[in-house]
Amino acid sequence: MTALNVIVSKFKEVLFSVLPITVMVLILNFTISPMETPLIIRFLIGSIFVVLGLTIFLLGIDIGITPLGNLTGSSLAKSNKLWIVLIGGLILGFFISIAEPGLMVLANQVDLVTSGQIPSISILVIVSIGLAILLALGFLRVLYNVPLYKILIILYLIIFGLSIFTSREFLAISFDASGSTTGILAVPFILSLSVGISKLKKDSKASEKDSFGLVAIASTGAIISVMILDIFTKTYEFSATLDSSISDSDSIISSFVRIILDNLKDSFMAILPLLVILLVLQKVTFKLSKRDLRKLLTGFGFSFVGLFIFFLGVNAGFMDVGTSIGNNLVLLDNKAYIIIIGFILGVVTILAEPAVYVLTHQIEDITSGYVKRKVVLVPLAIGVGLAVALSVIRVLVLDIQLWHYLLPGYIVCILLMFFTPKLFVGIAFDAGGVATGPMTATFILAFIQGAANAFEGADLMVDGFGMIAMVAMTPIITLEALGLVFALKSKTKGVEKKDD
């Protein structure tokens, strides 16, 4: 396949992913949720930027970031030194997380609604430390052949224990941080790291299983670290407010110009840590030829440009539309509208998540086409749609708290582990992480916060967060259920049930 064919193929796939959410917003605008004309024009321009940005970014992922992850994972495992693997996991985990754009969005949103009581930098650092520690633990699991489900059971028991002492506000933020940190940049790198390490095993079936699950383990570090932060501080008094950074009346050009510098900085800071890792490891261990190094650097260049264009479209066109729709729909007399539309928005938004694209293709590649990406994508989309609908219901029904969903939900996730093929356990928990990328952290988070801000009696700090946590959980259940279906249909044809 020529380079032009690859570009055209990716462009078509991204276009058909973003088109549904664009059409949905336009239908709402001309029916039950009319918006100011400048806002809609910004959204349409933003949609074009999102398509172009995602296309360029995904090319960069294929050319630069995924090969770097594979090389790094292989180098760490080949060292055969436990301390190198541990230190490598800690360093890589910290820099991957702190550069994750989805986490940046959440941290900035927490800073905004708490009027600076929880600075964005504190969320970034605390979450990144937690992810780094658990990523190193994930490396050890692969190297020592510890079954994934055993590790996850222990980690979620720890989380359930800590949640008893965690405030309602921080409970939502902690689970949201877990989803946000495994997004557009971290997931491709962590997945390729996992593949790089697990490929060195002689047992191909063990290698296949160990290619998944690292994202799931790493993301629990974010939950645990934020909960510990809350337990040891308990000094915040929240008075949450929500102010849009761009008003409906702003000119179309000025709204884009205003955020260009911020997006340049965020895109650069997202790529810089991985670029440093590449250059350092090239000097120390990779020793790539000039041609191969130039190819990786070209991939990094594509990733930077694509990320910048993508975020320009998202921040100037998507977030304010999400807030406006949430505000308008929650004020309608018939609340069924916002629940149904929340479900549909969840389904169509997940199709535009770049990390979902990366994961579903990797699942198809690693299983040699046995598990088709479309077979994974459908239950994943349904799970995310349910998550957004349930989050809307939590805003509307004030007595429902986040733990009313999360506790039984994760108990179901853990119970299903014992009956689902272990390959699907890793896929399911990784999918929960990748579903919560920048499209969810911007458009859907803005939609829920717009609803919470406008609905009388709702607490923006409590009800405005937690949606990302739900989006991270429900796909786990739907994909574990998919694994059970595969097990019943295929039995021993490619997926073994008793393979731990």
pLDDT-derived band at 387, boundaries 50, 70, 90: very high
Residue type, position 319, single letter: M
pLDDT the model gives residue 499: 47
**What contacts 44, CB < 8 A, 6 or more positions away?**
22, 317
Task: Report the Cα 330 to chain-centroid distance in Å.
Answer: 26
Q: pLDDT tens, 41-78?
A: 989 998 899 889 988 988 888 888 888 887 887 787 77
Question: Which among 319, 318, 311, 322 has a CA at the least distance from the CA of 260?
Answer: 311
pLDDT value for 130 = 93
User: What pLDDT shows up at residue 40?
Assistant: 92
Find the mean pLDDT for residues 431-452.
80
Distance CA 320, CA 241 (A): 15
- For 197-209, the pLDDT digits (tens) are 666 555 545 455 5
pLDDT at 250 > cutoff 70:
no
Calpha distance 50→354 (Å, rounded): 10
Choice between 363 and 250, residue whose per-residue pLDDT is larger: 363
Q: Which two tokens stand for residue 149?
A: 């489900």
User: What does the block give as tokens for 107?
Assistant: 């941290």
Give the pLDDT band (50/70/90) at residue 225: very high
Number of residues that make up the chain: 500
pLDDT number for residue 493: 54
105 vs 102: CA distance, rounded Å:
5
The C-alpha atoms of residue 153 and residue 141 are separated, in whole angstroms, by 14
Q: Give the predicted TM-score (pTM) of the model.
A: 0.77
Q: Quote the percentage of the chain above a pLDDT of 90.
A: 18
Return all residues near 247 (Cβ < 8 A) that are at least 6 apart.
none
Per-residue confidence band for 246, with pLDDT thresholds at 50, 70 and 90: very low
Q: What is the mean pLDDT of residues 132-148?
A: 84
Q: Residue 371 CB: number of other CB atoms within 10 A?
A: 20
Residue pointed to by tokens 């990786």: 296
